[in-house]
């Protein structure tokens, strides 16, 4: 863009403010920051927390029906509480169901997965005279429209802790229950040179940790550069930590495990979706692994990487899941050295292979009562496994990257952060200045206990 056009943008936006509310995954957070950064460069003022903005961007999630319901509730609430703001609803829900969002009064624009990156639509919200929303939802498969995602440089060095950095978008796996290919299109990756450049910028801005995000992060590939190649380039950056977000089991190979095991900055933490511990259900889901492969990958990681924490997504109530399937999954998870579980119920999404199977009566849905019972069982199992993983930390010293100071009851101040292997640690004190001095710093903490919410509690060592 020419210099005179940039100046025009700056003039057009000099009196307009913008903020974003982000729902859903880490990738959404990275993309929201990138969108705000672009608007800021064009002259928009970034609205601070608690102040009203001329433009309110709501970045949505559509991973489950429950997520969509929460999005609708949040949108309506924000419209009520921000009557003077223009409202732009963007992202996955906009891409999947723009017609449903169009029925909500008060929305000024609905932008899909690719269109949300084009700032021209945010301009047009203020030029539009009719009450009907501006709707821009194009097909998600476009290399040119992949868009970037990265955290904004913070205003204060104490605010620079963890940054999200998008490296990849879309997915080719075609799991039977998943809407991601419909929403975000085929797998495509950002060039390594651009990723390293943005990571270096984040590090020089004072961020201590970079989290690599994507729809299928482990499927990163661009011009013969794959994930391990990219990680080796990122290791040269002067930063405390690099974390890999959720990664598929078939991609967790020995090369990756060995790389993490020998790295000084890639943290010992993997989130590896399991979805089911029954080979019958995994096959029905069209997953690219079986329980034997998953088990081998998990044990290889924890045996090779000191202090490695592995979390897993687990789905209950997949149509056709029998009691035997569920018990096989329960016993399988019991045997795994997992640090935590994310448990959720199966959500049948329109347009998926699973939805077509149910329509053709090729599989039978599990009753809500059975799903609820199985869900509670797995949540309880997850609690036990997480507590078992965290208890050995008591009495040990852990490095903690602190983030969020808060005032608790009775004048007690609290600051929390995460260890390299993603254990949340809380430090408490009556000393306000001491607690607030922790934010943004990585410090040694002596762990004293594990509370009922499975947070580690401890004391900062001087």
Dist CA 7 CA 80 (whole Å): 35
155-193: pLDDT as tens digits: 434 457 899 999 999 999 999 999 988 899 999 999 999
Domain boundaries, the chain: 3-136, 146-245, 271-392, 394-460
Q: If 0-12 CB within 10 Å is exposed, 13-18 middle and 19+ buried, where does residue 402 land?
A: buried
Highest mean pLDDT among 47-56, 237-246, 408-417: 237-246
For the segment 231-259, what is each residue's pLDDT rounded down to a tens digit?
999 999 999 999 999 999 999 999 999 99
Degrees to nearest 5, angle at CA 192 with 186 and 196: 130
Residue recorded with tokens 């149910």: 358
Asked whether the predicted pLDDT for residue 460 surpasses 60, the reply is yes
In whole angstroms, give the CA distance from residue 23 to residue 47: 18
- Cβ contacts of residue 421 below 8 Å, gap of 6+? 267, 268, 269, 307, 308, 309, 339
Does residue 142 carry a pLDDT above 70?
A: no
Query: Which pLDDT score, from 0 to 100, does residue 50 have?
Result: 61
- Asked if the 271-392 domain carries CATH number 1.10.10.10, the reply is no
* Contact call for residues 240 and 442 (beta carbons, < 8 A): yes
Q: pLDDT (tens digit, 9 = 90+) per residue, 268-287?
A: 999 999 999 999 999 999 99
Architecture of domain 146-245: 2-Layer Sandwich (3.30)
- What's the CATH code, domain 3-136? 3.40.50.12160
CATH fold match for the domains 146-245 and 271-392: yes
Cβ neighbours of residue 138 closer than 8 Å, sequence gap 6 or more: 112, 114, 115, 145
pLDDT given at position 189: 94
pLDDT by residue (tens digit) across 318-339?
999 999 999 999 999 999 999 9
- In the numeric block, which tokens belong to residue 445? 């903490």
What does the chain come to in residues?
462
At the topology level, CATH places domain 394-460 in: OB fold (Dihydrolipoamide Acetyltransferase, E2P) (2.40.50)
- Those residues whose C-beta lies under 8 Å from the C-beta of residue 407, and which sit 6 or more positions away, are 413, 414
Token couple for 57: 């961007």
Q: How much is the mean pLDDT over the chain?
A: 91
Assigned token pair, 320: 């056709």
Matching residue, tokens 């799991």 = 175
Q: Is 425 helix (H, G, I), strand (E, B) or coil?
A: strand
Judge contact between 264 and 234, C-beta under 8 A. Answer: no
Give the whole-number percent of the chain exceeding pLDDT 90. Answer: 78
Query: Which positions ≥6 away from 393 have C-beta within 8 Å?
Result: 419, 423, 447, 450, 456
Instruction: With cut-offs at 50, 70 and 90, classify the pLDDT of residue 14.
Output: low
Contact between 413 and 433 under an 8 Å Cβ cutoff? The reply is: no
Which pLDDT value is given to residue 223? 93
pLDDT at 10 over 60: no
Do 59 and 32 meet the contact criterion of CB atoms below 8 Å apart? yes
437: left (phi over 0), alpha (psi -120 to 50) or beta: alpha
Strand partners, 327: none
172 contact partners, CB below 8 Å, separation of at least 6: 181, 186, 187, 216, 219
Q: Which helix H or strand E contains 40, and what residues bound it?
A: helix 26-41
Neighbours of 410 (CB within 10 A): 6
Contacts of residue 296, Cβ cutoff 8 Å, sequence gap at least 6: none
Residue 159 has what pLDDT? 58
pLDDT of residue 150: 62
pLDDT for res 6: 46
Distance between CA 128 and CA 112 in Å, rounded?
A: 18
- Closest CA relative to residue 381, chosen from 323, 335, 334: 334
**What is 283-335 written as a DSSP string?**
HHHT-S--HHHHHHHHHHHHHHSTT-EEEEEEEE--TT--HHHHHHHHHHHHH
3-state secondary structure of 359: helix
State CA 348 to chain mean position distance.
Answer: 21
Going through 119-240 in order, the beta strands assigned E by DSSP cover 134-136, 162-166, 168-169, 188-189, 209-213, 221-222, 225-226
pLDDT in tens, 418-457: 999 999 999 999 998 999 999 999 999 999 999 999 999 9
Question: What are the phi and psi torsion angles at 411 (to 5°)?
Answer: 75, 15
């Amino acid at each position: 863009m020419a210099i005179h056009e940039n100046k025009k943008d700056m003039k057009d936006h000099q009196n307009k403010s913008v903020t974003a509310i982000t729902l859903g995954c880490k990738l959404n957070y990275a993309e929201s920051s990138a969108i705000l950064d672009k608007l800021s460069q064009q002259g928009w003022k970034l609205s601070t927390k608690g102040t009203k903005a001329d433009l309110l961007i709501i970045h949505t999630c559509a991973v489950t029906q429950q997520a969509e319901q929460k999005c609708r509730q949040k949108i309506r609430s924000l419209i009520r509480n921000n009557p003077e703001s223009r409202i732009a609803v963007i992202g996955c829900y906009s891409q999947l169901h723009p017609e449903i969002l169009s029925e909500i009064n008060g929305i000024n624009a609905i932008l899909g997965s690719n269109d949300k990156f084009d700032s021209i639509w945010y301009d047009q919200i203020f030029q539009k005279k009719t009450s009907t929303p501006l709707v821009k939802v194009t097909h998600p498969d476009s290399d040119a429209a992949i868009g970037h995602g990265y955290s904004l440089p913070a205003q204060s060095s104490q605010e620079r802790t963890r940054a999200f950095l998008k490296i990849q978008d879309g997915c080719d796996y075609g799991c039977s229950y998943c809407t991601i290919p419909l929403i975000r299109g085929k797998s495509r990756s950002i060039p390594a040179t651009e990723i390293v450049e943005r990571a270096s910028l984040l590090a020089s801005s004072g961020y201590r940790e970079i989290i690599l995000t994507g729809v299928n992060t482990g499927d990163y590939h661009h011009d013969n550069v794959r994930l391990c190649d990219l990680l080796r380039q990122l290791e040269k950056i002067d930063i405390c930590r690099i974390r890999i977000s959720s990664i598929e089991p078939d991609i967790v190979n020995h090369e990756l495990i060995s790389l993490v095991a020998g790295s000084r900055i890639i943290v010992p933490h993997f989130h590896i979706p399991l979805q089911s511990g029954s080979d019958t259900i995994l096959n029905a889901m069209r997953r690219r692994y079986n329980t034997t492969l998953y088990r081998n990958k998990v044990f290889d990681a924890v045996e090779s990487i000191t202090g490695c924490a592995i979390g897993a997504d687990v789905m209950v109530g997949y149509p056709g899941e029998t009691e035997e399937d569920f018990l096989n999954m329960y016993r399988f998870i019991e045997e795994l050295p997992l640090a935590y579980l994310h448990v959720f119920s199966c959500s049948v999404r329109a347009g998926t292979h699973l939805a077509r199977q149910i329509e053709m009566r090729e599989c039978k849905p599990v009753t809500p009562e059975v799903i609820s019972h199985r869900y509670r069982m797995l949540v309880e199992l997850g609690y036990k496994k997480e507590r078992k993983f965290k208890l050995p930390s008591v009495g040990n010293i852990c490095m903690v990257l602190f983030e969020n100071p808060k005032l608790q009851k009775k004048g007690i101040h609290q600051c929390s952060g995460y260890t390299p292997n993603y254990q949340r640690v809380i430090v408490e004190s009556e000393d306000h200045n001491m607690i607030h001095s922790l934010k943004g710093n990585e410090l040694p903490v002596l762990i004293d206990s594990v509370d009922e919410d499975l947070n580690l509690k401890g004391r900062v060592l001087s």
